[in-house]
Amino acid sequence: GDSVTQMEGPVTLSEEACLTINCTYTATGYPSLFWYVQYPGEGLQLLLKATKADDKGSNKGFEATYRKETTSFHLEKGSVQVSDSAVYFCVVDRGSTLGRLYFGRGTQLTVWP
Amino acid sequence: DVKVTQSSRYLVKRTGEKVFLECVQDMDHENMFWYRQDPGLGLRLIYFSYDVKMKEKGDIPEGYSVSREKKERFSLILESASTNQTSMYLCASMRHDDSGNTIYFGEGSWLTVV
């Protein structure tokens, strides 16, 4: 079956540090890949997406590249801010019209000033 | 902008009570979902619906039911609430177009069963 494995947290960084949150997946076919972010007390928001191999999704300084050969979609940011403190979810969508998604367990990021 | 609205943000219910969690979306999406989110377990799918009056069980449907009488509204029902259903519940709806699927989430409903 499909599964998503992402780096366990919590991750604690100082402001302006580099961030990488690893995500690997198992899925048949050509899934779409997402990163969602959940700020404290809120629902999940789409951060970025990539729909085919070698695509790079980017938003708010975050980037992730769809690597089919390594089945990975690692989230990166060169310089984190306190406002980036949140939980990040790696998500796989096989693209069916039913819309079943497969979530990683989430990685808590805390950025200190 | 797509808006998914969960009418109750915080609820406290007693064991055995019947609980309704309501979710409304304003973008005419056909697919809607209910998840629960627990620390260390991430998001788990309870039920989803791909059309009015159509529903499918997710990974953890036991103890829950759903209702989709109108396209914009998807309700989660706990027939007899139990303490192990204390959790955060997230509703979502999906847009499907040429670029694929995009899921939009509500802000969540925190349910405490005492």
Residue-wise pLDDT tens for chain B (114 aa)? Answer: 668 999 889 999 999 999 999 999 999 999 999 999 998 888 999 999 999 989 999 999 999 999 999 999 999 999 999 999 999 999 999 988 877 788 899 999 999 999
- Probe site for chain B from A8, A103, A108 (most B CB atoms < 10 A): A103
- Give residue A101's pLDDT: 86
A8 Cα to chain B: minimum distance (Å): 9
Using the beta-carbon criterion (under 8 Å), do A99 and B99 form an inter-chain contact?
Answer: no
Is B99 in a helix, a strand, or coil?
coil
- Give residue A75's pLDDT: 98
- Give residue B91's pLDDT: 96
- Give residue B98's pLDDT: 79
Task: Please enumerate, as own/partner, the contacts of A3-8 that have beta carbons within 8 Å and a separation of 24 or more.
Answer: A3/A102, A4/A90, A4/A91, A4/A92, A4/A102, A4/A103, A4/A104, A5/A104, A6/A88, A6/A89, A6/A90, A6/A104, A6/A105, A6/A106, A6/A107, A7/A107, A8/A105, A8/A107
Residues of B with CB under 8 A from a CB of A: 4, 31, 33, 40-43, 45, 48, 50, 56, 90, 92, 94, 96, 99-108
Hey, what are B98's tokens? Answer: 């040429």
Residues of A in contact with B101 (CB under 8 A): 32, 93, 95, 99
Query: Considering chain A, what percentage of its residues have pLDDT values greater than 70?
Result: 95
What CA–CA distance (Å, rounded) separates B64 from B91?
14
- Give residue A97's pLDDT: 65
Using the beta-carbon criterion (under 8 Å), do B56 and A95 form an inter-chain contact?
Answer: no
Q: Give tens-digit pLDDT for A36-94.
A: 999 988 889 999 999 989 999 999 999 999 999 999 999 999 999 999 999 999 999 87
Residues of B in contact with A51 (CB under 8 A): 99-100
Question: Is residue A9 pLDDT above 90, yes or no?
Answer: no
- Give residue B66's pLDDT: 97
